[in-house]
Amino acid sequence: MYHQITKLKQNCLVYVKQLQNIKRSIFASFFCLPTSLLALIFFLLLLYNGFAVFYVHPPFPSKPQPEPANFSKANLARNSLKKLPSSVMYAVKEDTPSVILKTLLPLLQNPAISMTPINRSVVLKPKKAHGYKAVKRMLRSGDNSKQFSTRIRDFLGNRGCKVKFFMTWISSLKPFVHPYACLVIVSNSMDAESGSLVLKPFLDKGFKLIAIKPDFDYIFKDTHAEKWFKGLKKGNVSPGEVSLGQNMSNLLRLALLYKFGGIYMDTDVIVLKTLTKLRNAIGAQSIDLENGNWSRLNNAVLIFDKKHPLVYKFIEEFALTFDGNKWGHNGPYLVSRVVSRVNRTPGFDFTVLPPSAFYPVNWGRVKSLFKGPEGKAHSTWLRKKLEQIKSESFAVHLWNRQSRKIKAESGSIINHIMLDCCVFCNSSSSTL
């Protein structure tokens, strides 16, 4: 037994000696290499070591959790936040301002709504959903956009406009007016050869309108939007996951209203009555049934004078608290936050209109407007609802996300409204 252990030990010593010989041979061969090659090898080893030591993984914020849906009576119309990017902006300036209306609903100071701090998280690398190349393509200004101020002055100055409309269009072309007004369409897609084909039927009917590519620098100048927009172009502001077109529409409507004064209106709003008597007004989307105060405002319809202080505050709030990952944060929730904050502050003269003014039907029941009569009782309900809308509403918001694929049935409320208000409708079975 002792002899076997001794023999195994001797074998191990032999193997160790052989390994040492191999090691010496390798080192001898290595040092025989040219000096320049040795320097290159050492440099590569140092470079690899540097990457291994100093490489870090920056902590990016996790994907924000969506706000929980609230289907309480105080928030029945939440889905107004889910507008399509085809929302547009109408700004109307009256030659003779009307008398300021008294507030129809008391302004509610909601303690749950407080000053929102500046969101530092937006200053980071954008997610792949909105690469900055796509952002730059959307925001780039062509030669025509630099003529924005000249073209708009020439158009409005030579048409004898009694009423001036402004509209933004930031999505693809889709056919969409006030017969006695001038309409300026601020749009890249409309200010093109293909866009002129869409506008031709309106021009042939005598409507006064023009499409102009937006000059964002001119429109945002001397507002908080100017600095925010520069940050967006430089890549210092993340556009987020929500459609950039939607958020640009949210900002453009405010900037155009502040620069020109007028009326903003989404494309999914049907006007029933003249709006010329309204001034410095915003509509409540829902009210608190217990106290009658508004609980949520909406920005689908905005009516304000040029350089109104409340619109200035809206733009400031947009620039300081922008969050491209929260749907509605920069739109309906924004106007609700600001109005709640400036409640009864001197110098902010405006009117909060009741939901019946622009939102007579909440998003969850908008389908009922498209249904035709299904019996005597239903027919009676339709007739009374139509009478109520015609009596109390200036316009009807159709909540496009819920109604865009619904066909207006014969005898429905929408069918009657179409026959009264539609410019180009040739059939009562048109799809809205």
User: What pLDDT was estimated at residue 139?
Assistant: 64
* Total residue length of the chain: 432
Neighbours of 145 (CB within 10 A): 20
Q: Are 209 and 185 in contact (CB under 8 A)?
A: yes
Q: Are 302 and 280 in contact (CB under 8 A)?
A: no
User: What pLDDT was estimated at residue 335?
Assistant: 97
Q: What's the chain look like in SS3? A: CHHHHHHHHHHHHHHHHHHHHHHHHHHHHHHCCCHHHHHHHHHHHHHHHHHHHHCCCCCCCCCCCCCCCCCCHHHCCHHHHCCCCCCCCCCCEECCCCCCCCCCCCCCCCCCCCCCCCCHHHCCCCCHHHCHHHHHHHHCCCCCHHHHHHHHHHHHHCCCCCEEEEEEECCCCCCCCCCCEEEEEEECCCCCHHHHHHHHHHHHCCCEEEEECCCHHHHHCCCHHHHHHHHHHHCCCCCCCCCHHHHHHHHHHHHHHHHHCEEEECCCEEECCCCCCCCCEEEEEEECCCCCCEEEEEEEEEEECCCCHHHHHHHHHHHHHCCCCCCCCCCHHHHHHHHHHCCCCCCCCCEEECHHHHCCCCHHHHHHHHCCCCCHHHHHHHHHHHHHHHHHCCEEECCHHHHCCCECCCCCHHHHHHHHHCCCCCCCCCEC
Rounded CA-CA distance 186/252 in Å is 9
Q: What is the pLDDT along the chain (432 residues), one digit of tens a residue?
A: 556 666 666 776 777 677 777 767 666 665 665 666 656 666 666 555 554 444 444 444 443 443 333 333 333 333 333 333 333 344 433 333 333 333 344 444 443 433 334 343 333 344 444 556 666 666 665 555 567 778 777 776 666 666 666 656 655 544 445 556 777 788 888 888 888 888 888 888 888 888 888 899 999 999 999 999 999 999 999 999 999 989 999 999 999 999 988 888 887 889 899 888 899 999 999 999 889 899 999 999 999 999 999 999 999 999 999 999 998 999 999 999 999 999 888 999 999 999 999 999 988 899 999 999 999 999 999 999 999 999 999 999 999 888 888 999 999 999 999 888 776 654 433 333
Within 8 A by CB and 6+ apart from 85, the residues are 170, 171, 243, 245, 246, 249
Rounded CA-CA distance 244/213 in Å is 17
User: What pLDDT was estimated at residue 78?
Assistant: 37
